[in-house]
């Protein structure tokens, strides 16, 4: 009883410590990436991106009620939900470590007494391991934002703790209830994230070891195989094939029996329930205990999995955010299978330079059409001239082929081999995308810049200078910006060393238990790498996927205390050894981790994701249509509109989703205070499988063709407006890229589309060349909006939308801050004029009176998702506006603007591109008399450029030519500052820029040659 009381008390204390730290550092509003979507969807029970997280959304909805109706505090309380889940994860980790530590002394005799020293060591190991994990980089990051990974980690912790509870009570008559409990938690966890299922092989091994007196290699392999089969049965059988069977039952009932939708799926559900009930009764009657446990566990998995009913129920209600619209059996199946994201080859597939040699029709894709299911299309299956086993370098998208060649050292026409597959797998996927993350958490991190193989970005370090120099190079040239970077965290290998000591000691003392932890470590780490088969140049760091692996290693950090104590007990008495081991563990684990990580994990001052979304909307006139593209554009926009109710008159349209029929259909409906988009296309003409993509084929049509005519041609079912393929099929085509739109000047003036003094520049007809070789539903929708809008609603693009999505309308886009507005004006721009037209007066008003900057000027830490925007702020928003104000003779406004920039932008430099982007702003600062402020910024940036160029050069010489990409930015910055200082009368700064130019003159001369 004494042990249990102390164990419970210390577990809750560790959980409280962790939770308090998370509460202190939790983000006060929305975070980047998926958090905005999750918060908005949790509040109103809406549908998030595939494959959904219904249980997470429902639980977060509970936390939202703590805001007491204050929309501005809802995000905070949902973030608090993650903080509390993370604190509870630490609780169960503590209990897991102490359970494993106690077994070293007592074996399976869970009630056997411990000596005072043994109890102290077991408790100390739990404290060290649990709090070490609490303050690791990856886990702490997820603990303070409203994302699924905190709750997913809690599910993993509960399940692994649960199997240890079963193991300790395996001889009791009611012990199997713990297995049922585990099955239920796993079923629930599917509604959060699938990562929890990877614990199953470790559970199988625990059951085997507990039930077998003498384990054998064959028995271990068999138990692992059973565990993997159970994992597969749940992952594919329960989650996917149960829905697939339901869908095909529904297909039969609807199409063959003429019933309504859903009846076949309901009949299948009744069959499953009936079969399970019969099986359970049969197992009881026949005394088949194993079958009984398996069937009851299946029932509880399905009971937990039933949280996904929320997806279909809410989809039928057609909420504002209704990703994929999974309101029937087949769309729900597609949603669960994440079909919009495609598949990565795992066992056999192409090389990145393979060429297709043929195409076959793949599986049928069904859609609900009227009162029937119909085949929308067949997914194509391609054959290639070159295929390989274990394909790892397979992607031909984006810049992937170029990256593969650069990473592997392949020439422009050199064919990759199977050996290159393995080199990329071990070097990039294992080394860069797992090993680097692992060492971030237990050895140290160089900085938080996202790297794609560069030695100056995002690598692990230790803090031991000779070793770091051998690893990365250039440590003697380390710039001040790197030395003072809050995200530079050095642990001197201490957590790693303790964890390795704990692992080796554990294998020596209790090989079975260590094997179980090792299996958990493998399946939540390397196995994920194998399954994900990631391509290079990921849009964000992916360390969150491996949190379970770092959890397992933290168990060994805790057990490392026992290992150290045993070693020290050979030198001193056991009591002193225990105290010393505990002290070493606490300092080398939790203390060093929280001391190093606190500054760059404290998000309490951060608001930029929310403020950026507000700035996008504030750039728009009332009742606007705002096209966005990426996650960090769109999700915060959804948040501020759906949660805070801010500028709900603006209709946000995500272009990367608009190519889907369900999203295009939703855009034709009114939402909140925003009217439906004037697309005016019959949804039947663009439903799934119909006009998914329309390709361009030049028909040599003279002159420009009206947009409305082209839309009609592309939507026409008349064979005269289609082309016949070799297969005999008729398809729509885009016959020309030369487009025009007649402009009614009176409509433009009446709707105040352009500033009053620009009315003379309004054109009679807009003409442009379409920029792509295809038309998806996204472009078709945009063209239809152009044809039907008649300038009644303002049309904008977020400033971060890629230019490819402008459709060639660049010359008619006018900057008004964080968005480009479509205006039918022509100022006869010539070469050398600004690339973008700017409505300077409107932009100035927005900057001075509407925009906010997320506290980045005063925050002690700015994260990489935030500071990567600074170049745009100082170069585009502030710099270009200040330049144009100055050119217009508005010197007073220009002066106020540059002072505003100085007050709101950070007082440190983060990136080379940012240093370069300051030049236009500095030029204006000097010209309006803000010399002291300009000198301060220029001096800071020149120091940054000088120190970082020396660092890049040192690393390039020592390690890799990948650093030359950074050096190119540096050389461009040097040139820009030299040009600026040649014009400005600042002798000291001119001397610095000249010296810097002369140091790297040979690079400029090489470029000239």
Could you report the per-residue pLDDT of 497-554, keeping only the tens digit for each? 999 999 999 999 999 999 999 999 999 999 999 999 999 989 899 999 999 999 999 9
**Residues contacting residue 985 through CB under 8 Å, at least 6 positions apart:** none
In whole angstroms, give the CA distance from residue 974 to residue 916: 8
Look at residue 306 and tell me if it is in a domain.
Answer: no
Whether 179 has a pLDDT exceeding 50, the answer reads: yes
Q: What is the mean pLDDT of the chain?
A: 93
Q: What is the pLDDT of residue 831?
A: 56
Asked if 877 and 847 touch (Cβ cutoff 8 Å), the reply is yes
Q: What is the pLDDT of residues 359-368, one digit of tens each?
A: 888 889 999 9
Quick one: tokens of 10?
A: 């210390």
What value does the mean pLDDT take over residues 292-306?
A: 95
Give the phi and the psi of residue 787 in degrees, each rounded to 5: -70, -30
Is 605 a domain residue? no
The pLDDT > 70 percentage for the chain reads 98
- What does the block give as tokens for 751? 């709707």
pLDDT higher than threshold 80 for residue 109: no
DSSP of 940-957: HHHHHHHHHHHHHHHHHH
Tell me which H or E stretch contains 738: strand 738-742
Measure the CA dihedral 146/148/149/153, to 10°: 110
Rounded Cα distance between 700 and 685, Å, is 26
Report residue 435: phi and psi, to 5°: -60, -40
- Bridge-based pairing of strands 705-706 and 738-742 is parallel
Distance CA 141, CA 309 (A): 30
Please list the residues that pair with 444 across neighbouring strands: 490
Which pLDDT score is estimated for 1003? 78
Query: Predicted confidence band at 104 (pLDDT cuts at 50, 70, 90)?
Result: very high
More confident residue, 891 or 343: 891
What's the Cα-to-Cα distance from 786 to each of 178, 605, 709, 733, 822, rounded to whole Å? 62, 42, 12, 19, 10
Strands in 496-655 per DSSP E:
625-628, 651-654
185 belongs to a structural domain = no
Checking if the pLDDT of 959 tops 60, the result is no
Q: Tell whether pTM > 0.75.
A: yes
Residues 524 and 198: beta-carbon distance below 8 Å: yes
Q: What is the mean pLDDT of residues 295-318?
A: 95
Which pLDDT score is estimated for 32? 95
Q: Is residue 804 part of a domain?
A: yes
Tell whether the model's pLDDT for residue 964 goes beyond 70: no
> Whole-angstrom Cα distance, residue 926 to residue 540?
38
Tell me: pLDDT of 1 over 70: no
* 220-229 average pLDDT score: 94
Domain of residue 696: give its range: 622-825
pLDDT, residue 274, reads 96
Of 395, 416, 437, which residue is a domain's last? 416
Domain boundary among 364, 391, 416: 416
pLDDT band at residue 275 using 50, 70 and 90 as cut-offs: very high
Kindly provide the b/e burial profile for residues 783-800, where b requires at least 16 CB atoms within 10 angstroms of the residue's own CB. Answer: bbbbbbbebebbbbbbbb
Segment 265-282 mean pLDDT: 96
Three-state secondary-structure class, residue 674? strand
pLDDT at 856: 94
Q: Name residues whose C-beta falls within 8 Å of residue 278's C-beta, 6 or more positions apart in sequence.
A: none
Q: How many domains does the chain have?
A: 2
Instruction: Give the pLDDT of residue 592.
Output: 98
Locus of tokens 């007990």: 569
- pLDDT tens column, 442-497: 999 999 998 777 788 889 999 999 999 988 888 889 999 999 999 999 999 999 99
Q: For 84-108, what is the mean pLDDT?
A: 95
Q: Is residue 782 in a domain?
A: yes
Over 969-982, what HEC string results?
HHHHHHHHHHHHHH
Residue 989, pLDDT above cutoff 90: yes
Cα angle, residue 386 at apex, residues 383 and 389 outer, rounded to 5°:
95
Q: Which two tokens stand for residue 159?
A: 């399940």
Coil/strand/helix, residue 358: strand
Task: Judge whether 359 lies within some domain.
Answer: yes
Q: List pLDDT tens digits, range 647-703.
A: 999 999 999 999 999 999 999 999 999 999 999 999 999 999 999 999 999 999 999
Binned at pLDDT 50, 70 and 90, residue 954 comes out as confident
The answer as to whether 62 is a domain residue is no
Structure tokens at 441: 């958490």
- Examine the pLDDT at 823 and tell me if it is beyond 70: yes
Look at residue 352 in the predicted model and tell me its pLDDT: 94
CA angle (855 as vertex; 853, 860 as ends), nearest 5: 145
590 located within any domain = no
The whole-angstrom separation of Cα 706 and Cα 722 is 18
State the pLDDT confidence band at 1008, using cuts at 50, 70 and 90: very low
* pLDDT computed for residue 832 by the predictor: 54
Give Cβ neighbours of residue 92 (< 8 Å, ≥ 6 apart): 154, 157, 158, 160, 161
Give the C-alpha separation, 605 to 860, whole Å: 8
Span 888-906, average pLDDT: 96
Which band of pLDDT confidence, cut at 50, 70 and 90, is reported for residue 962? Answer: low
Report pLDDT for 961.
52
Confidence band, pLDDT 50/70/90 cuts, at residue 388: very high
pLDDT attached to residue 140: 98
The SS3 call for residue 193 is coil
Q: Among 782, 810, 825, which residue terminates a domain?
A: 825
Using pLDDT thresholds of 50, 70 and 90, give the confidence band for residue 1009.
very low
Q: Can you tell me the distance from the alpha carbon of 688 to that of 681, in angstroms, rounded to the nearest whole number?
A: 14
Contacts of 127 (CB under 8 A, 6+ apart): 10, 14, 94, 558, 582, 586, 590
Looking at residues 19-43, what average pLDDT do you find?
Answer: 96
Measured in residues, the chain has a length of 1009
């Amino acid at each position: 009883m004494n042990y249990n009381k102390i164990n419970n008390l210390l577990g809750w204390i560790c959980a409280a410590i962790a939770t308090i730290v998370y509460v202190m550092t939790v983000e006060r509003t929305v975070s980047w990436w998926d958090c905005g979507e999750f918060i908005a969807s949790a509040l109103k029970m809406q549908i998030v991106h595939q494959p959904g997280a219904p249980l997470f959304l429902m639980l977060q909805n509970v936390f939202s009620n703590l805001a007491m109706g204050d929309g501005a505090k809802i995000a905070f309380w949902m973030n608090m939900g993650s903080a509390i889940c993370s604190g509870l994860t630490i609780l169960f980790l503590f209990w897991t470590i102490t359970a494993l530590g106690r077994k070293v002394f007592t074996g399976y005799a869970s009630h056997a007494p411990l000596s005072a020293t043994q109890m102290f060591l077991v408790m100390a190991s739990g404290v060290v391991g649990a709090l070490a994990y609490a303050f690791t980089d990856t886990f702490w990051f997820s603990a303070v934002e409203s994302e699924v990974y905190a709750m997913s980690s809690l599910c993993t912790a509960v399940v692994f703790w649960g199997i240890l509870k079963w193991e300790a009570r395996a001889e009791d008559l009611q012990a199997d209830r713990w297995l049922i409990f585990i099955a239920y938690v796993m079923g629930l966890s599917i509604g959060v994230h699938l990562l929890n299922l990877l614990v199953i092989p470790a559970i199988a091994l625990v059951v085997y070891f507990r039930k077998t007196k003498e384990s054998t290699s064959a028995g271990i392999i068999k138990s692992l195989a059973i565990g993997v089969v159970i994992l597969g049965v749940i992952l594919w059988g329960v989650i996917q094939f149960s829905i697939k069977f339901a869908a095909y039952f529904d297909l039969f009932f609807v199409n063959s029996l003429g019933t309504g939708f859903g009846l076949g799926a309901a009949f299948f559900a009744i069959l499953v329930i009936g079969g399970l009930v019969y099986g359970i009764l049969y197992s009881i009657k026949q005394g088949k205990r194993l079958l009984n446990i398996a069937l009851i566990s299946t029932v509880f998995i399905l009971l937990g999995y039933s949280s996904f009913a929320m997806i279909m129920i809410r989809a039928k209600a057609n909420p504002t955010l209704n990703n994929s619209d999974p309101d029937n059996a087949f769309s729900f199946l597609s949603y669960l299978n994440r079909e919009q994201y495609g598949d990565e080859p795992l066992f056999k597939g192409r090389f990145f330079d393979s060429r297709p040699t043929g195409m076959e029709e793949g599986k049928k894709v069904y859609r609900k059409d009227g009162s029937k299911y119909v085949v929308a299309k067949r997914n194509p299956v391609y054959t290639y001239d070159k295929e390989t086993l274990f394909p790892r370098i397979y992607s031909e998208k984006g810049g992937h082929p170029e990256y593969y060649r650069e990473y592997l050292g392949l020439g422009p026409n050199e064919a990759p081999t199977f050996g290159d597959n393995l080199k990329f797998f071990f070097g990039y996927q294992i080394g860069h995308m797992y090993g680097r993350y692992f060492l971030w958490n237990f050895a140290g991190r160089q900085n938080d810049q996202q790297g794609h193989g560069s030695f100056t970005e995002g690598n692990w370090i230790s803090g031991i200078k000779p070793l770091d120099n051998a690893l990365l190079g250039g440590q003697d040239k380390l710039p001040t910006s790197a030395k003072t970077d809050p995200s530079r965290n050095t642990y001197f290998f201490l957590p790693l060393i303790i964890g390795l000591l704990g692992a080796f000691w554990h294998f020596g003392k209790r090989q079975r238990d260590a094997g179980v932890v090792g299996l958990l470590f493998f399946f939540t780490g390397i196995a994920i790498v194998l399954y994900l088969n990631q391509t290079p140049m990921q849009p964000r760091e992916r360390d969150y996927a491996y949190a379970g692996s770092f959890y397992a290693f933290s168990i060994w950090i805790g057990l490392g205390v026992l290992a150290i104590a045993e070693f020290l007990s050979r030198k001193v008495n056991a009591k002193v050894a225990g105290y010393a081991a505990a002290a070493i563990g606490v300092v080398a684990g939790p203390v060093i981790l929280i001391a190093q990580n606190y500054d760059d994990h404290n998000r309490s001052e951060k608001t930029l994701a929310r403020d950026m979304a507000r700035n996008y909307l504030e750039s728009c006139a009332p009742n606007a249509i705002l096209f966005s593209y990426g996650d960090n554009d769109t999700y915060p926009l959804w948040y501020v509109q759906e949660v805070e109710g801010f500028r709900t008159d603006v209709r946000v349209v995500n272009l990367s989703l608009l190519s889907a029929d369900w999203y295009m259909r939703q855009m034709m409906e009114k939402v909140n205070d925003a009217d439906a988009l004037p697309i005016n296309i019959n949804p039947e003409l663009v439903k799934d499988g119909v006009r998914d993509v329309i390709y361009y084929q030049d028909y040599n049509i003279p002159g420009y063709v009206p947009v409305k005519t082209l839309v009609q041609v592309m939507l026409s079912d008349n064979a005269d407006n289609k082309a016949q393929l070799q297969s005999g099929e008729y398809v729509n085509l885009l016959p020309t890229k030369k487009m025009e739109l007649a402009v009614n000047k009176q409509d433009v003036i009446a709707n105040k589309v352009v500033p009053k003094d620009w009315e003379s520049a309004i054109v009679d007809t807009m003409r442009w060349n379409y920029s792509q070789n295809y038309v998806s539903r996204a472009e078709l929708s945009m063209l239809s909006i152009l044809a039907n809008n008649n300038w009644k609603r303002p049309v904008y693009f977020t400033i971060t939308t890629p230019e490819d999505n402008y459709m060639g309308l660049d010359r008619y886009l006018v900057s008004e801050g964080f968005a480009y507005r479509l205006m039918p004006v022509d100022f006869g721009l010539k070469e050398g004029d600004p690339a973008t037209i700017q409505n300077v007066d409107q932009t100035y008003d927005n900057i001075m009176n509407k925009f906010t900057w997320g506290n980045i000027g005063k925050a002690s830490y700015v994260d990489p998702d935030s500071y990567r925007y600074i170049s745009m702020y100082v170069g585009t928003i502030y710099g270009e506006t200040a330049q144009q104000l100055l050119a217009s003779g508005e010197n007073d406004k220009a002066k106020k603007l540059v002072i505003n920039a100085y007050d709101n932008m950070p007082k440190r430099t983060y990136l080379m591109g940012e240093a370069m982007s300051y030049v236009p702003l500095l030029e204006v600062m000097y010209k309006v008399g803000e010399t002291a402020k300009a000198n301060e910024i220029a001096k800071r940036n020149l120091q940054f450029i000088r120190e970082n160029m020396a660092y890049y050069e040192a690393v390039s010489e020592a390690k890799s030519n990948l650093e030359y990409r950074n050096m190119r930015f540096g050389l461009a910055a040097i040139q820009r500052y030299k040009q600026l200082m040649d014009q400005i009368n600042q002798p000291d700064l001119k001397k610095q820029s000249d010296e810097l130019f002369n140091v790297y003159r040979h690079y400029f001369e090489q470029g000239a040659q």
